[in-house]
Structure 1
Amino acid sequence: MYDNHTTERQQGIEPAQMQDNGDSDVIDVRAFLLVLWRRKWIIFNVALITIVMSAIVVFQLTPRYTAKAMLAIETRQNRVVDLEAVMSGLGTDQAAIKTEIDVLQSRRLVGKLVDDVNLVNDPEFNAELREGRGFLQAINPFTYLPDEWSAAIFGRRKAEQSPEEAAQATRARVVDQLLSQMTVANPPRSYTLEVAVESADPKKAAKIANGLANLYLTDQLEVKFEATERANEWLNERVFELREKVRLAEQEAQQFREENQLIQTQSAGLVNDQQLAQLNTQLVTARTDLARIEARERQIEQNIVDGTVEESGLLEVVQSPLIQRLKEQESEVRRRRAELATRYGPKHPRMMNVEAELADVRTKISLEIDKIVAGIRGEAEVAAIRVTTLEQNLEALKQESFKNSRAQVRMRELDREAEANRLLLQTFLTRFKETSSSDGMQQADARIISKADVPVYASFPKKRIIMVVAAVIGLGAGVALAFLMESLDNGYRSPEHLKQDLNLRPLGMIPLVGKAVLQSGGPEKYIISKPSSSFAEAHRSIHASLMFSGAGGATPKVLAVTSSIPGEGKSTATLCLAHILGRTGLKILVVEADMRRPVLRKRLGLEKGSFVSLNDVLSREPIPAGLSIYADDVSGIHVLWTDKEENPQKRFAAPEFQSFLSEARKQYDLVLIDTPPIMAVSDA
């Protein structure tokens, strides 16, 4: 049974019981809908308040327009000449694209844009120039604080600044404001950069977006021109330094060559080396000739010892014309001697003359052979002297070559240094000419593919979307609040819920009565005037349940009605149940056992001392004469009211109370005891 003064307790199912108690969790849609229906006004009011507040804020906001310009990063570089640029083109990886986004959002570039468009004098970007307060500023309480209080609370103190510092600070704030109103994004899988600028003026938004895109391209060219100019200056200085180094290195090499007499020929070799090679060749030839001549000399000496010089067939002897003529004469003399020998004897004068002529020829041949042998011996001596001389000259050249070799080590070092300086100078000269020739051919690494047009529709606020979202949020918040209130409501809305939580069989449910019923005399008056209402029928159902609640199906004789805390309607429920049962002809006694906060005397309009009270019955003194139990004229029930007691527990524990209950069971069909709240006091 429920208190009829508690308006939130109506028949239904609590959200905690919206799931089946079976093995599987099944959402009870009907229970959800019942909760929403019960709390429909909460949901409606929350949604309405959210929509109204959102509409107030949205329509107070200044419309803002977004203009977008698109840039494309060049992945292919067009070169007029095949020269390597001082600054190479942009990369196409994510890091390079992110770097360009950072460049577009850099304070340096945005600061140039602020100066070009003169945004310092624009109230939209310079808050110091704005007049009046907006709606949001008007409702912000911190804007009404004095500067001293704001400085003390937020720690923002304005330091003394010179005019230049103040202007720089103002420009910095304008740059911050512009950065907050612009975005640079890179669409996925593309090399494009999207520059979006938001402003209250659509023309201004387009102008700023296009200005930033143009400044970005101009900045790229300026960076390249500056890099080229710096490269040219640096290369020019390096070329001058390298020229001086080459000159000094060549002078040092030439001076060292002259000091060490390192004379080179056209064949890129030193004269000493060539002389050494020639002398070595001559020495080999001379030694060969010496060996050959010595061999001939030894052969001749051996022939002389053997006496066979003439018959040895010596080449010089054989080839000598004089010896050949003498040989011919000898042959002629021999032929004549042979002829004369046939006719004359050895002693013949003619024979003797021939013999003398033959001896003379032989003597001449021997003399000529001796001369040839002497010549060969002299040639051998000359060859030996030549070999000795060549060996001495070769040794001297070797010593000089060793000296030159040691000097050449330093010479080669000087030559290498000079050559390295020459190559470096040539490289820098070539690079200097390339950078000088490409000075006017620089191209930006990006291009504008779409200029920002003047936007027609405002990008903020999107009123329709915001209102729809506000409605959805309001409905969601209302539903959440409804379920929150439902979860905080710890009352019972169904017998099943009561049985599940308390493991008790409920007797029934009493419907809620309206406020008009409460104002017309209370539920106990209503149940008497409307005995056929659903409210009265609910109490009959409770009585029907009571008839079978006793042991063995017996009807209970004494029933205690209580509640958890005061004000839940136990006294009202007791009176209503008593009235409806009294109308059926049952003899009913209502006993008010709440001696701490009794209410029945005032609700029934009884005068104190006009009717018997529970205090009189439980006292050991006799009941005053002329007093009787109060009986209702319509329903016929008896009511035993009570008055306040300091120690109610003593009264209920006394034998008089037990005797009273025993006597009441005999005289009445049902005794209803209105007990104190269980959780408030221990009397019950």
Structure 2
Amino acid sequence: MYDNQYVKQQELNTPGHPPLGAQEDEIDIRALALVLWRRKWVIVNTAIFLIVLSAIVVFQLTPRYKASAMLAIESRQNSVVDLEAVMSGLGTDQAAIKTEIDVLKSRRLVGKLVDSLDLTNDREFNGELNTNRSLLSYLNPLSYVSDSWKDAILGTKPDARSEEEIAETTRARVIDAVSQRLVVSNPPRSYTLNLSFESVDPKKAARIVNRLSDLYLTDQLEVKFEATQRANEWLNERVAQLRDKVRQSEQAAQQFRERHQLVQTQSAGLVNEQQLAQINTQLVTARTELARIEARQRQIEQNVADGRIEESGLIEVLQSPLIQRLKEQESGVQRERAELATRYGPKHPKMLNVQAELADIQSKISYEIDKIVAGIRGEAEVAAIRVQTLQQNLDSLKAESFEVSRAQVQMRELDREAEANRLLLQTFLTRFKETSSQDGMQQADARIIAKADTPLMASFPKKKMTLALVGFVGVALGVGLAFLLEALDNGYRSFDHLRQDLQLRSLGMIPLVDKSALKNMKPEEYIAEKPNSSFAEAHRNVHASLMFSGKDGSTPKVLAVTSSVPGEGKSTATLCLAQILGRTGLKVLVVEGDLRRPVFRERMGVSKEKHLSVNDILTGSAQESGKDIFKDEVTGIHLLWAERVDDPQERFTSAEFRHFLAEARKRYDLVLLDTPPIMAVADAMIIARHAESVMFVIQWENTPKGIVKTAVKQLAQTQIPIAGAVLTQVNIKRHRGYGYGDQGYYYGGKSAYYTN
């Protein structure tokens, strides 16, 4: 903030003037619209330039046509017979579909397409065959020289590759060109694939897409056929190997069985096991029989020992005819003895004979019984021998069985291996028959649901859309450029900006007079010619503002007029203001303080020999010269012109100049000191010290803000109050477009108050 005792802060925060911070924070839509309106030709020209440039490029482009086909991934497979396929069908997840998209765009499949349609000999894809030159190629200076010269200029070597390498490189380049124009996509939540291709020939585009679709389906069948063929070959080899392995395992089992004499019957397993079971059964039977015979033997021997032959229970004794006859004889002899005992005594010969006969009969019976008992003993011995023999046989078979069991473990292992090989052989043989039957039953995992038709309209370039988009971009770029130019505009256009940046009071703005209106007149002459013009009224407004710019609201008697740099209209404003005041009857003296570039003598027609100059006053030779102060006959103003000198600063610090101004204050109502620009020389600050106030002149929209700020800061060091600022050379027509609503808005209107 710079010192200015005549600018009060209250003036900026009155109800009619909201706080500056609030003004800056608000977005003024109208101001933005006015910026666009002011810069409308920038926007229009930018858009037109881009549209024309784009049109030139677009209409030079070769049109391309897009042909599209549609494939469907089959999620269901036809099953003629219930056989498991070698290759399973495609999945329907996104990964599987993405894989198929990659297959369609793969270099292998595109290479098949290139070979099948002979695209390596197509100029569209093989740039080496294209002899037509584009417009841009004419800008390349190397296009006008031969290949040998190109190699010499670029330092490259001639191509030494073989024809096969060149052909392979050309094919790879064509594959890249075709792949770039091929687009494969999958719509969301769909099992379909969209194929599209762009070409300069619509028929060629459709032919390429349809051919690629056919190649894709054929490729699927070939892949499945090759997989089935490889599976058949592998299964055939495996079956042959398994046959040999089964034969070897069966032979090994049979040889082991023969080596260990493991004879096996169809009904009861191995012979050894059958014999062991039989002998074990016989041994149990023999032991039972031996026990029975021994029990009979013990019973008979006990009964015989007890004399109870009849109670022995031996069937052989009871059923023996001889013993029965002897028993009958014994019974008869006993009856006879009983009869004889009744008649004879024990010593009687008859009794003795009977006794002897009975003893003989009983002896025979005992003998027969002993024979029977001896037979039973023989049976017991035979049974015991049989049991012993069977036990020995059983023990022998058990020992052999242990050996056989150990051999059987290995035998069963060999049998299991042989059986496993037979099962594996059977499985592979069955699968081989299944895969062999699938050779002619392969089907693709996709199908064509829409073939590509020949496109009727070009897909590239979209001229209308492109030009419309470029037009939109041009307008957007123009708008951005307009705001950029507005932001880069570094001059002051309104007093609001001056108040915000410099806290300077507004004295008024002076419009720029059109050259056609001047008609070779000077601005001060134009005021005399057009006293009721807006140009003249602007200077009256400046005077009105100056009337209240002095101390205590008074009008300053000595006013310095300065600016930042030359060419801002400072001297013109001084002369015009003086003439306006002179017409009102005020006594005005204009003092030209720029001794480095004086202009008043030529502009006002001052006579060097007749009229006093500032130099005469500063040197104290005014009275001796006999000259008078120049007086304008029309307005009555007085003027002291200046001559160029080398040391103006010393002149303005002289006592003569101070004495002169003191006398001028008494004789004139207003003394205007036209000083040099502040940023050019230091004279202005020295002259301004002799003034009561300073009027600061700023050229509208032209003087950079930084220079103005620096100049005002330097001027503030003089401690001389700044009465305010005047904006000069205001382009009223453009100023109205900013919508500031100040004096300039009305100067440019068709008002009955002004006669321009």
Asked if Structure 1 and Structure 2 have the same fold, meaning a TM-score greater than 0.5 normalized by the shorter chain, the answer is yes
**1:556 and 1:670 in contact (8 A); partners too:** yes
Aligned to 2:259: 259
Determine if contact 1:336/1:354 at 8 Å carries over to the other structure. Answer: no
Cα deviations across residues 219-256 of structure 1 (Å, max 9, x unaligned)?
Answer: 22222222222222222222222222222222222222
Instruction: Indicate conservation of the 8 Å contact 2:333/2:358, yes or no.
Output: yes
User: Does 2:399 correspond to 1:399?
Assistant: yes
Give the Cα separation in 2 of the matches to 1:20 and 1:183.
59
Query: Which position in structure 1 is the counterpart of 2:711?
Result: none
Is residue 553 from structure 1 mapped to residue 553 from structure 2 by the alignment?
yes
SS at 1:507's partner residue?
strand
Question: Is the 2:69–2:209 Cα contact (8 Å) retained in structure 1?
Answer: yes
Which residue of 1 is the match for residue 227 of structure 2?
A: 227
Question: What's the counterpart of residue 411 of structure 1?
Answer: 411
- Helix, strand or coil: the match of 1:549? coil
Q: Which moved more, 1:318-327 or 1:172-181?
A: 318-327
Query: How many Å apart are 1:573 and its aligned residue?
Result: 3.4
2:562/2:570 contact within 8 Å kept: yes
Distance 1:406 1:321 in 2: 56
| 2:434 aligned residue | 434
Match of 1:9 in 2: none
Match of 2:722 in 1: none
User: For structure 1, which segment, 362-371 or 106-115, has the greater mean C-alpha deviation from structure 2 after superposition?
Assistant: 362-371
Partner of 1:207: 207
Conserved 8 A contact 2:563-2:677: yes
> What residue is the counterpart of 2:165 in the other structure?
165
* Separation (CA, whole Å) in 1 of partners of 2:458 and 2:672: 74
What is the deviation of 1:102? 1.5
Shifted more, 118-127 versus 370-379: the winner is: 370-379
* One-letter identity of the residue aligned with 1:224: K
Larger CA deviation: 554-563 vs 431-440? 554-563
Which residue pairs with 1:76 in the alignment?
A: 76
Structure 2 unaligned regions, length at least 5: 1-18, 686-756
Range 203-212 or range 146-155, more displaced? 146-155
Deviation string for 1:58-95 (max 9, x for gaps)? 22222211111111111111121211112221111112
> How many pairs were matched up?
665
Q: Which has the bigger relative contact order, CA under 8 A and spacing at least 6? A: 1
CA distance in 1 between partners of 2:621 and 2:372 (Å): 196
Structure 2: how far apart are the matches of 1:268 and 1:567? Answer: 136
Superposed CA deviations along residues 572-616 of structure 1, whole A, max 9, x for unmatched, are: 433443333333333334444455555555655667777544454
Q: Which residue of 2 aligns with 1:425?
A: 425
Structure 1 414/362 Cα, relative in aligned 2: closer, same or farther at 3 Å? same
Alpha carbons of structure 1 residues 205 and 340: separation in structure 2 relative to 1, 3 Å: same
Q: Which moved more, 1:619-628 or 1:398-407?
A: 619-628
Aligned to 1:544: 544
Give the distance between the partners of 2:94 and 2:309, measured in 1 at CA: 107
Quote the Cα distance in structure 2 between the aligned partners of 1:62 and 1:24: 53
Deviation at 1:452, TM superposition (A): 0.8
Amino acid of the structure 1 residue aligned with 2:93: D
Residues 303, 312 of structure 2: 8 Å contact kept: no
AA aligned to 1:115 is D
Task: Show the counterpart of 1:107.
Answer: 107
Asked if 1:39 is matched to 2:39, the reply is yes
- After TM superposition, list the pairs within 5 Å mapping 1:130-279 onto structure 2: 130-138=130-138, 159-267=159-267, 269-279=269-279
In structure 1, distance between residues paired with 2:456 and 2:445: 31
Structure 1 spans left out of the alignment, 5+ residues: 1-18
Given that 1:517 and 1:523 are in contact with CA atoms closer than 8 Å, whether structure 2 keeps it comes out as no
Q: 1:374 to 1:505 in 2, by over 3 A?
A: farther
Cα deviation for residue 448 of structure 1 reads 0.9
Determine the C-alpha separation between the residues in 2 that align with 1:499 and 1:247: 114
- Number of the residue aligned with 1:127: 127
CA drift at 1:531: 2.6
Deviation at 1:681, TM superposition (A): 5.1
Partner residue in 2 for 1:477: 477
Contact kept, 8 Å, 1:316 with 1:372, in 2: the verdict is no
What is the match of residue 453 of structure 1? 453
Larger displacement relative to structure 2 (334-343 or 131-140) = 334-343
Q: 1:474 to 1:302 in 2, by over 3 A?
A: same
More deviation, 663-672/208-217: 663-672
Offset of residue 286 of structure 1: 4.2
Deviates more, 1:35-44 or 1:109-118: 109-118
8 Å CA contact 1:333, 1:358 repeated in 2: no
Q: Distance in 2 between matches of 1:145 and 1:591?
A: 74
Deviation at 1:98, TM superposition (A): 1.4
Q: Give the residue type in structure 1 aligned to 2:401.
A: S
Per-residue deviation, residues 487-540 of structure 1 (Å, max 9, x unmatched): 111223333333223333333333444354578345444444333222332332
Contact kept, 8 Å, 2:330 with 2:362, in 1: the verdict is: no
* Cα distance in structure 1, aligned partners of 2:522 and 2:148: 62
Distance 1:328 1:263 in 2: 61
Q: How far is 1:101 from its partner? A: 1.3
In 2, Cα distance between equivalents of 1:357 and 1:616: 221
**Match of 1:79, as an amino acid?**
S
| Higher mean C-alpha deviation, range 662-671 or range 85-94 | 662-671
Q: CA–CA distance in 2 between the matches of 1:78 and 1:66?
A: 34
Question: Structure 2: which amino acid aligns with 1:72?
Answer: A
Whether the 8 Å CA contact 1:341–1:351 is kept in 2: the answer is yes
Amino acid at match of 2:89: G
Distance 2:126 2:143 in 1: 17
Indicate the SS of the match to 1:410. helix
Q: Which moved more, 1:207-216 or 1:486-495?
A: 486-495
- Native 8 Å contact 1:547 1:553 kept in 2: yes
CA deviation after TM superposition for structure 1 residue 384, in Å = 3.8
The offset of 1:674, in angstroms, is 3.8
Residue 442 of structure 1: SS of its match in structure 2?
Answer: coil
How far apart in 2 are the matches of 1:268 and 1:152? 101
8 A contact 2:90–2:96 mirrored in 1: yes
Q: Which residue type is aligned with residue 459 of structure 1?
A: S
Contact between 1:20 and 1:28, CA under 8 Å: does it hold in 2?
no
Structure 2 counterpart of 1:28: 28
Please, which moves more after superposition, 319-328 or 566-575? 319-328
What is the CA distance between 1:426 and its match in structure 2? 1.7
Would you say the 8 A contact 1:340–1:351 is kept in 2?
Answer: no
Pairing of 1:657-668 with structure 2 (within 5 A): 658-668=658-668
Structure-2 residue corresponding to 1:5: none
SS at match of 1:232: helix
Match of 1:487? 487
- CA 1:594 to 1:480, structure 2 compared with 1: closer, same or farther past 3 Å? farther
Instruction: Tell me by how many angstroms 1:40 deviates.
Output: 1.4
**Bigger shift: 142-151 or 490-499?**
142-151
User: CA-to-partner distance for each residue in 1:171-207, whole Å, 9 max, x for gaps?
Assistant: 2222222222221111221111111111111111111
State the one-letter code of the partner of 1:441.
Answer: M
Look up the equivalent residue of 1:490 and give its one-letter code.
Answer: N
CA separation of 1:336 and 1:194: change in aligned 2, threshold 3 A? same
- Report the AA paired with residue 486 of structure 2: E
Take 2:283 and 2:29, find their aligned partners in 1: how far apart are those partners? 125
Given that 1:330 and 1:362 are in contact with CA atoms closer than 8 Å, whether structure 2 keeps it comes out as no
- For residues 632 and 486 of structure 1, do their structure 2 counterparts lie closer, same or farther at Cα, with a shift above 3 Å needed? farther
Which deviates the most, 244-253 or 382-391? 382-391
AA aligned to 1:479 is: V
Q: How does 1:626-645 map to 2 (within 5 A)?
A: 626-642=626-642
Structure 1, 667-676 or 461-470: larger mean CA deviation = 667-676
Q: CA deviation at 1:124?
A: 1.7
Range 570-579 or range 358-367, more displaced: 358-367
Q: CA deviation at 1:332?
A: 5.4
**Partners in 2 of 1:329 and 1:530 — Cα distance?**
202
Distance 1:413 1:354, change over 3 A: same
